[in-house]
Amino acid sequence: MNIVYPLLAVIALTLIAWLGVWGLGLDSLFAIVIPYIASAVFVIGLVYGVIKWARLPVPFRIPTVCGQQKSLPWIKSNNLENPSTTAGVIWRMVLEVLLFRSLFRNSRAELAGPQKLVYSGNKYLWLGGLTFHWTLLIILFRHLRFFTEPVFLPVNWVEELDGIFQLALPTLYITDMVILVALSYLFLRRVVFAQMRYLSLPADYFALLLLLGVVISGVLMRLFYKVDLVGVKELAVSMLAFQPAVPDGVGLAFYIHLFLVSSLLAYFPFSKMMHAPGILLSPTRNLRNDNRMRRHINPWDYPVKVHTYEEWEDEFRDQMKKAGMPLEEEA
């Protein structure tokens, strides 16, 4: 069930775009209105979500440290895994965001025999995740050519490099193939491994299937269902200028692709995909471990009931006196 419903949902989204454009001729709705709304939801939702988090107090400084602290001068401290300076935190975050440093540590625990636990390196998830995110970034970057005129030069370079294995026209991009493999891996591991299946929610499958839908529709329209790229660019540029005009005969595949992208954008701020901005705010990663050097303030700190020394001495005075212990009041 966890997989069926998300799958049906993605199929339904595809059918909606198909029927809407091919059956009902709602070209402008799918080309202009929905993408605008989805983009607005994405931007507003993202900003709202980040601001909501950022405004929340961080009462305690709780970094999870993964290396030697800065203490005595002759002990080499690890400012990257256990940053005591802001520069260290920045490096830690850069490695986390760009290279998924923590996930790189991943290992697998196995009971290899009676009372014999072994741990082996397990880099597949790291590799799959990193590959997916990086190829997605490159693909998004390539898409800039639809929004800029003249095309930003580095976009051409990336595109050329990405299409270096061109065998036939049209160009088969490396990233398109790689992202398909990566997404399939990320999906299959949730299906194949019993533990992953057990802990996965419908939302986990939905996000992956929706992304797969976006990629597949994109690849299909490049390779098989040719769409009018000049028309697509006209649309993109006109929408950016807020003077949208739907060009004729762009091709159905494009509308499906665009609708799935729109769905993804609109879904993003309400989904686990918010981990993207979220990681930047994660208190176990983005704080310095200088707790004993600089006082951290809890903005909502309040006084609490304590057992004062005087109350304590009152309770134990007699025994303390007998034991000859120093007292504040001899009474």
Partner 1 sequence: MKDKKVTPEELAKIGYTPPKKGWMDTDVEFRKGTYSYSAPLKNQEYLGLPNPRQWQVTDADWKLPENWKEIILEGMKDRLDKYRSWRLFLDICVRCGACADKCHYFIGSGDPKNMPVLRAELLRSVYRKNFTLGGKIFGKLGGARDLSEKVLKEWFYYFFQCSECRRCSVFCPYGIDTCEITMMGRELLNLVGCTTEWIVGPAANCFRTGNHLGVPPHAFKQSLEFAADEVKGITGLTVEAPINRKGAEILLVAPSADYFASPHWFTLLGYLMLFHEIGLDYTWSAYASEGGNFGLFHSDEMVKRLNAKIYAEAKRLGVKWILGGECGHMWRVIHQYMDTVNGPADFLEEPVSPITGTKFENASSTRMVHICEFTADLIKNNKLKLDKSRNNKWKVTFHDSCNPARAMGLLEEPRYIINNVCNSFHEMPENTTRERTFCCGSGAGLGADENMEMRLRGGLPRANAVKYVHEKHGVNVLACICAIDKAAFPPLLEYWVPGVETAGVHELVGNALVMKGETERTTDLRCEPLTLEGEVPAGAVCEPPKDEEDRKDYWK
Distance CA 36, CA 119 (A): 49
Site string for partner 1, 59-88 (x = CB under 8 A): xxxx-xxxxxxxxx-xxxxx--xx-x----
Q: Which of these ranges, 23-31, 140-148, 150-158, 276-284, lies near partner 1 under the rule CB under 8 A?
A: 276-284
Site for partner 1 in 5-34 (CB under 8 A): 5
Q: Which is nearer to partner 1, 165 or 270 (CB)?
A: 270
Q: Binding residues for partner 1, how many (CB under 8 A)?
A: 99
169 CA to centre of own chain = 34
Judged by CB under 8 A, the residue of 199, 223, 230, 245 near partner 1 is 199
Question: Count of residues for the chain?
Answer: 331
Site for partner 1 in 223-242 (CB under 8 A): none
User: Exposed, middle or buried by CB within 10 Å (0-12, 13-18, 19+), for 103?
Assistant: middle
Judged by CB under 8 A, the residue of 248, 301, 329, 330 near partner 1 is 301
Residues 6+ apart with CB under 8 A from 4: none
Q: Which is nearer to partner 1, 61 or 233 (CB)?
A: 61
Element (H, E) at 119: strand 116-121
Site for partner 1 in 106-135 (CB under 8 A): 106-109, 111, 114-117, 119, 125, 129
Q: Which of these ranges, 14-22, 55-63, 140-148, 168-176, lies near partner 1 under the rule CB under 8 A?
A: 55-63
Residues 6+ apart with CB under 8 A from 67: 77, 78, 80, 81, 82
Closest approach, Cβ 276 to partner 1, in A, equals: 9
Closest approach, Cβ 37 to partner 1, in A, equals: 16
What count of other Cβ atoms lies within 10 Å of the Cβ of residue 276?
Answer: 13
Closest approach, Cβ 163 to partner 1, in A, equals: 31
**In 3-state terms, what secondary structure has residue 107?**
strand
Judged by CB under 8 A, the residue of 86, 181, 191, 278 near partner 1 is 278
Q: Which is nearer to partner 1, 2 or 39 (CB)?
A: 2
Judged by CB under 8 A, the residue of 167, 243, 307, 331 near partner 1 is 307
Closest approach, Cβ 141 to partner 1, in A, equals: 23
User: Exposed, middle or buried by CB within 10 Å (0-12, 13-18, 19+), for 70?
Assistant: buried
**Helix 4-18 / helix 252-267 crossing angle, nearest 10 deg:** 130
Site for partner 1 in 149-188 (CB under 8 A): none
Residues 197-228: b if buried by 16+ CB within 10 A, e if exposed: eeebeeebbbbbbbbbbbbbbbbebbeeeebe
Q: Rule CB under 8 A: is residue 57 a binding residue for partner 1? A: yes
Judged by CB under 8 A, the residue of 24, 166, 284, 314 near partner 1 is 284
Distance CA 160, CA 162 (A): 5
